Amino acid sequence: MKKILVTFAAIMLWAINSTAFGWVLGVQNVYYNPQNSTWSSSQQTSEDIRLKNKRFVGSGGFSEYYFDDNKLAIGPVTNVEFVSDGRFIGINSHDLKFFKYIYKDGKIIPELLSEEEIQKLYPDYEIVKISEFTNYEITLYKKIFHKKNFLLLNDTPLSFYKYNYKPESVNPSYIKTFITASHPGKIVFSHYGDDTKDFPALKIHIKNRFKD
């Protein structure tokens, strides 16, 4: 139990320290305005639909959102959510996928974000699709003496539940889709070090070049 609480606290601390977006924490609500079809982190009108964010031990790290009548509205789909330009965005860290939540006919529907939409959210990251790997390997390039950010985007049926990076320093956050490469070398993304048919390891080779 202590380990679970420490892990949860670490996740929350990372979320609080994030500067990219206003991550929705476990005690927060989000609001949908049906008049202009926008989301916000605070109530804008009396007609807003409120969703309560709840996270339970044993949920696998997924978020769940409930209507005021305690009926499930969202989940379990994503691990981290945020509001950006009136849209409610979620990231599935296990599957390396991004979603936007759409309100339709009284239901909240998750829709995959397009590559273009994701690039607009993260302009400082180079998107690398899983389908671009050959035999689970890929070579990526960064400018010599400079760091480079990469965003792994899963456009395949594969899942990467409980996968981690080696070295760990390339992904200091809870969200596994983000990588920062500081040096040339090999990055391995694997399920506890496995490299099998059921749990193939992704191998990312980082090389320097003089131009970005």
* pLDDT of the residue at 28: 84
Work out the pLDDT band at 20, boundaries 50, 70, 90: low
* pLDDT of the residue at 212: 72
H or E segment and range at residue 116 = helix 115-121
Region(s) of the chain under CATH 2.60.40: 123-209
Residue with tokens 């769940």: 64
* pLDDT of the residue at 162: 92
Q: What is the pLDDT of residues 89-146, one digit of tens each?
A: 999 999 999 999 999 999 999 999 999 999 999 999 999 999 999 999 999 999 999 9
CATH 2.60.40 fits 123-209, yes or no: yes
Work out the pLDDT band at 75, boundaries 50, 70, 90: confident
Maximum C-alpha span of the chain: 58
* pLDDT of the residue at 153: 98
Output the pTM of the full model: 0.85
Question: Chain-wide mean pLDDT for the chain?
Answer: 87
* pLDDT of the residue at 172: 82
Work out the pLDDT band at 201, boundaries 50, 70, 90: very high
